[in-house]
Structure formats: structure tokens, C-alpha cells
Structure 1
Amino acid sequence: MKKGLLLLVFASLCGGLFAQKFDLAKTPPMGWNSWNKFGCLVNEEVVMKAAKSMVSSGMREAGYEYIVIDDCWQISRDEEGEIVVDTIQFPHGMKYLADYIHSLGLKFGIYTCAGLTTCQKRPGSRGYEFQDARTYARWGVDYLKVDWCYATPGQNSFASYSLMRDALYAAGRPIVLSICEWGETQPWTWAKEVGHLGRTTGDIRDNWDSMINIVDAEKPLAKYAEPGYWNDPDMLEIGNGGMTTNEYKTHFSMWCMLAAPLMAGNDLSNMSEETMSILTNANLIAVNQDKLGQQAVCIRESGGYEIWIKNLVNNEKAACLLNRSDEEKEVLVNFNRLLRVKGESDPRYQLYEDSYELTDYKILDLWENKEFKITGDYRIMIKIPPHSVKVYRFIKKGK
């Protein structure tokens, strides 16, 4: 019997001996992943450029920290079952890359699959979980994305990802576990004790319909997100060219409201000032990284116009007005009601807090980065271009 299979049998016999995950990801992880832009063309130079650019662009200071290599870095296993790196694409190996990334004050991530092979037919971790976990720990990995391609018939997602969790914990290096089974087995109902983020849908595409459909899929999932476990609507497409500037702003705004992991997927070494300004919007990132850890809820849907509310620490709130239609909308907004709405997971049972007084707050427009002044009865007409958002934060005065 091969070494990897022996380890699998041992793990099964041990049951829950290592059944514990590392206490990580108290706020949604932020970083970069190679797949959306580079796919299987990823290599050592691409990854090192991304890491260097994350520093020079100001993204590291904005909160981004993980540099994650997706599929296509591995080519085989040796006679001992050890995973073999593609030395043509990565001539110095993964430990070298990890050390370089760490030297820049960043963290290193890598990819595997819970199936026999990865989505691109490279060797997966099925049967080698403990061996691979020890290897990743030795290399200095900080983040592991585990895909779900080519799972064997009858393979159980909870058992498979729990096995990898236990393997990582036994290896002894704190590693964020990103579960990526595309929401097929509703990971939000079971993955909280297993990983740190769980994909909720299939892969995103760089277009409006794909992005907004993913937003729709997140609507019933708010109650499952909390510090240490996040619903993952997939990586960001900002800067890859398939959407307009307004659509990319909507994309980023909604991911921040949803308390989603912010994993950039563009070429960091060749991005426009516009792309960089979206990805490093400090106001929106603060909403995403809020320590209360609540996911926004949609409290109103009417003719392509939606209102999303996200509760924040210190009794503050963020409100996102989303125009998903193809035409400009002019809407009457009652800011007093936006502040006072509880933001419950089910919008049919929205309640209002009498203790909130709008006079105790200032309102910040998070894209304009300026205070939004209102007078009178707190109601004002707002124009929202098609496929766009207006995002506001209610900030306690005196902060």
C-alpha cells in the first residue's frame, strides 16, 4: 500500500484525534490569487512580480497580505508520494517563493484539490492529506485553497475537508483553509468547524451577469458568516477588462458589504490607477474588515433597486444603494430609516431601533470620501447610474 493511502487509513482510524482548526481569519482574508488572470500560465516570475507590486502599489498597506498560487504548479508525485513542483515554471521551488514573499511582509498561499486530481489534471491531495500538509508546513505556506474537482464517486465533502483540516492542524503550522466545493453541499451549514471560508457558488466570470448573480446567491447566507468563517463568493475580477468602471465599483462594494474575502485576480504588476483606486478604497475596506464580522442583508428589492445594510462595531452601519437595472434611477432615500433598521437576516421581519438618532451620526459617502449633508426630514432624492452603487457609512460623532 502506498504511503499516502496508509496515512488516509490511519487518519480514518484515529477519527477526530486532530479535529480542530486554527484560530485564524477573524476578518475576511485579503490578498491575490493567480487564476483569474494567469490560469495555467502562472510561474515564478509572475508570482514574484505580484508580491513586489502588492507592496509598491500600496495594497499591502491597505490590508492585502496573501499571495496565492492557484492550479498548475504541481506535475506529479515521486516514489515516496511527495508532491513534485513544476521546475520549469518554478525553478527554485516553493520554499524559495515562500521565503521571498515573507521577506516582503506578506503571506504565501497555495492550491490543491480534495479529489484525485486538480481541475487541470495535476495530482490532487486525495489519500495524501497528511503528507501534503507536512510539506506545505515545511515550505512555509500560510493559506491553502482546496478545490473539489475529480472527487471519487461517493466522496463526502465534509469528511474530505475535515481530513485536510486535521492534517493541517497535525502539521503544526497555522494555515487558513479555503474550502472550494462551489456551494454544492451547502458548506455554510457545516464548514464553520472545518475551514475559514467556504465557496458559495461556481466560478465567477468577468462580466456583470456573473457577478450580480453571485450577489443574489449570497442573500440568504448572511446568518452563517462570522469572525473565523466567511461565505466566499469567489475572487475579484476588478481590472481584468470585462466590466465597466461603475460595474467594478459595484463588484468591490458588494464584496465589502458581504464581508467576503477580498482576493484580487488581476495583473498587479500592470494595473491602471483606476483599478488600484478601487482595490485600495480605504473606506470600503474598513467596512469589509469590520470586527463585528456581520454580512450585509438586503432589506429592499424593487424594480432593480436594492438596499443593503451592514451592521458595524460601535453601533455604526453601512448602507449600499444598488441599481442593478440598465437605466438610471432616482430614488427617495430616508436616511433616518436606513440608520435605524436592524438589518435582520430575513427582510420580512425588519425592525427599527428607537435608540438611534441621526443627529448623533455623520454620514460619509464612501466613494466620494466626503461627508454627505442632509437636512429637514432626512429624506433626499438620490440619482444612481445603471449598474452602480451609492455606499454610505453612518459614523458616530466624536470618533
Structure 2
Amino acid sequence: MLLTTAAFAGLVFVAPGALALDNGVGRLPILGYNTWNAFVCNIDENIIIETASLIQSLGLQDAGYTQMNLDDCWGEKNRSAEGLLQANAERFPSGFNNLTSQLHDMGLCVNAGIYSDSGWRTCQDYPGSYSNEALDAETFQNWGFDYLKYDNCYIPFDDIIREGTLGRFQRMADAIANLSSTTGQPPLIYSLCEWGWSQVWLWGASMANSWRVDNDIGANWDSIAGIINSASFITQATNFYGRNDVDILEVGNGDLTYEENKSHFTAWALFKSPLLIGTNLSAVSSEIVDILSNPEILAINQDPVVGTSISPFRWGLNPDWTSNSTFPAQYWSGPSQNGTVFMLLNTLNEPADMFFNLTESPWIRAGREYSVRDLWTHTDNGTAIRNFTATDIPAHGVIAVLLQDAGDEPDGIEPSCAVYCQCGTEDGTYVYGGCTTEY
């Protein structure tokens, strides 16, 4: 579906990321595992510990993945007589205190995560947290959890809740903050799973560490392309402590090709999204582990100096600011502590060459040359002067490069301006006359 609208251009200048929730936790995107995509409701304590062990043995812990999150279906269908949530006795017979202790003892989890819902019930019909926010936040912390994914099902009727989506999620945010002030412990990392339907990115940064921007991801290229399209218009919402969550990683799942897996992982990481693996690690290939472990891509995601996402500087196939869930923006860049990172995404169904002038990115200076580091081949590929061309990018494939300033460009290069719209001399003469819109 193709849609061009001034509304997108109007939204792009809002910068809620500047108001991100600086609450002492979650400054950088979390790296870890979430149970939903691989196991859905088929989770138990053995699966959790086995998966944690695989994260260690496959080298993913060494790559930085130190979080284990339980998704829906972990509980009993009803609260206890005292009104407390309960771990499912059959699937978690040892209880959650024992489980989180095991995870921490393994050295795996700086954070162990759990799931609940802002409505009466969770999406799989287990007890939700509406009207029990303070009690549940305390329960989660007492169990040893440090992270809460908070979903959006079974919403109370309007005459009961009498507040909008923001207010419903604010209730748990307040409970988490109050609990922290009472106990002196760090607040739970708070991740909103609202699916982006009420422009959650506009207000999520005031209460949460991350917020979902689209529907649940599917293990197919169409789903990934659609989420990239949604993210392309709200990249300014991401900064330290608050970020767009583009959902669980499907790397290695479904019918994704090798190139699609690389593109999926690259986009998620460079968006500064949380990176939560959703693959069954007992059957994962070494090729997929290598993708998930790419140290140079992960270094951008975990940049301690620059917290912002990459952003499109040209849409490419479509006019700029065009929403197209099948063919999203192709040309992206952003700053990092070590230079300007570029992502070139071939959204076409066939190989393609991609070209851009360096100063199309706002992070590049005119009149300078730049060393080129390929973040997937891990090679230094000479220097770029004025422009860059990537040839024969596979269908749905990606190029990710880091450009570092290497000094002034050589003297005598013509034309005098790489992009010569309004390029003129001191005496008021246009060098080339007028503007060009060609790239």
C-alpha cells in the first residue's frame, strides 16, 4: 500500500526522545531472549534454563545477550485467594524466585523479564494487571524480575477506565516508580506493547524505556518491510532511556533468506531497538549465530555516546516521506561515536546498485574524504570522496558501512561543489546555475 501525506512530514519534527525517561535503568538497548516467537505458550522452567545454557554455549552471552524474558502463559489462570498472581505450578514447580536465582547464578541475566497486561486479562487469557498495578509490580520485583513487558489486551470498558491508552499504561508506570521510591531498588525496565495504534511514540518516552511501534512481527519479509516503513517516520523518538521497539528478532525463523536475516538484524540494531532473540536456539545454525553476534553491528546498537537511531536521508524507490509497507525507505544514516553509519537497504525483489552523494546525509561534511569500513565483511575498503556506490546488492539485502573522516579531499576535484544547488562564488556568481535534483 502506497501513501503520501503531509502528516508524516509534520510528525517528523517532533522530538519526544529528548524527554526520555531517565530513571537509571535501560540506558542502552537490552540484548537478550524472549520466549514467545519460538515457544508461544509452551514454556516451563526447563526450557528457560536450557535456553539460557544455549545462550552461553553458543557464545551469545559473550556477544552481549544477557537478558531472559518470559512472555505470556507463565501463570495460573486465576489469582490466589489473596489476589496475587501465581506461577503455573505444573510448568514452574520450583517457583520464580528459584528460577531467577538460577539465571543470575549462571551469570546470564543482569535482567530477568516477565510479562503482563494493562487490561483485565493477558492476550492469552491469563490474569492481567489492570486495577492491581501496585500489587503486581511488587510481586514481580519480589520474584527477582527486573523487566516488564506490558501488553494491550482485554481493555476495560470506557465507563470503568475513564481514561485513554496513555492513562492506562501510566497506571503501571506510576506503580513502578512508587515501588522504587519505597524500596530503594532500581525501577523495573518498562516496555510498552501497545502496537503503535495510538501514536505511543509521542508519549511513551515520558513513562517507559521502550514502546512498540507496529503489530507483532512475522517471520517473513513482508512483515519486516512493513515494520521498517513504520519506523522510518519516527526515528527521532529514540534516544538513551527511551526507544522504538520494533519487536522480537525473527532472525533464523520462517522462510527468511540469509540476506533477509542480515537486513532484518541490521535494521533492528541500527534503529537502537531492544534486540530480543526469538529463535529456538536448540536448532539454530552457526550462520544465524554469526548474524546475531556481529560485533560491529552490535557496537552501534550499544553505542555509549550516541543514543539516536539511524534515519532515512532519501527514500529511494519512492518520493521522500512516502509510506510504502512493501518498499520502505532505502537510504539511511546516523551518527555514532566513531563516525557516520550508513544502511543501504535493497527493498527490491532483484539485485540492485545503490548510489548516493555523501552530503545527502546531514552527518557528513562537504570537502572531506572518508574511510570506509564494511560492518559485515569487517574490512577497510579505501576511502569515499563525494559519493558512494554499492553494486549488486542482493534482493532484500543490506550494506552497512561506517564512514570516518579522513581529512580534506584532494585539491583540484571538479565540479567545485559535489551537489551544486545554489553553489556560488563570493562575488555572487552561480558556478553552475540553478539546482539539480539528480542523484
What TM-score does the superposition give when structure 1 sets the normalisation length? 0.87
2:308 to 291, 294, 305: 294
User: C-alpha root-mean-square deviation of aligned residues, in Å?
Assistant: 2.0
- Per-residue displacement from partner, 1:371-398 (whole Å, max 9, x unpaired)? 1124776544522110100110124569
Kept in 1: contact 2:368–2:385 (CA 8 A): no
Counterpart-to-counterpart distance in 2, 1:333 and 1:188: 30
Alignment partner for residue 81 of structure 2, among 79, 82, 86? 79
- SS in structure 2 at match of 1:67: strand
Note the residue ranges of structure 2 that are not aligned, 5 or more in a row.
Answer: 1-20, 318-326, 408-439
Q: Structure 1 residues 82, 373: closer, same or farther in 2, change over 3 A?
A: same
- In the alignment of these two chains, the number of paired residues is 364
| Contact 1:71 1:111 (C-alpha < 8 Å) held by counterparts | yes
Give the AA of the match of 1:153: F
2:416 corresponds to = none
Per-residue deviation, residues 178-219 of structure 1 (Å, max 9, x unmatched) = 001111221111111211000011100100000110000001
CA contact (8 A) 2:359 2:365 kept: no
Amino acid at match of 1:190: W
In the alignment, which residue of structure 1 is the partner of 2:39? 38
Does structure 1 residue 157 correspond to structure 2 residue 150? Answer: no
For residue 99 of structure 2, the aligned residue among 97, 100, 113 is 97
More helix by share: 1
Q: Does 1:221 align with 2:243?
A: no
Equivalent position to 1:284, from 297, 308, 325:
297
Query: Residue in 2 aligned with 1:332?
Result: 355
Percent identity, aligned pairs only, is 32
Q: Within 1, Cα distance between the matches of 2:344 and 2:388?
A: 14
Q: Distance in 2 between matches of 1:391 and 1:376?
A: 17
Alignment match, 1:342: 362
- 1:310 is matched with 334
1:156-175 maps to which residues of 2 (within 5 A)? 156-172=164-180, 173-174=185-186, 175=188
Higher mean displacement: 71-80 or 377-386: 377-386
Matching residue of 1:70: 71
The 2-side partners of 1:378 and 1:36 are apart by 41
Unaligned runs of 5+ in 1: 1-19, 344-351
SS in structure 2 at match of 1:308 = strand
Matches within 5 A, 1:101-140: 101-105=103-107, 106=109, 107-140=111-144
**Residue identity in the other structure for 2:376:** W
Cα offset, 1:333, TM superposition: 4.4
The counterpart of 2:343, out of the listed 313, 320, 327, is 320
Partner-residue secondary structure (3-state), 1:85: coil
Query: Amino acid of the residue matched to residue 40 of structure 1?
Result: C
* Farther-moved stretch of structure 1 (371-380 vs 211-220): 371-380
- For residues 122 and 21 of structure 1, what CA distance do their matches in structure 2 show? 31
Contact 2:212/2:245 (<8 A) preserved? yes
For residues 246-291 of structure 1, what are the alpha-carbon distances to aligned partners after superposition, in whole Å with 9 as ceiling and x for unaligned? Answer: 1010000111121111011011233110110010000111111123
Structure with larger Rg: 2
Instruction: Please point out which of 272, 282, 285 is paired with 2:285.
Output: 272
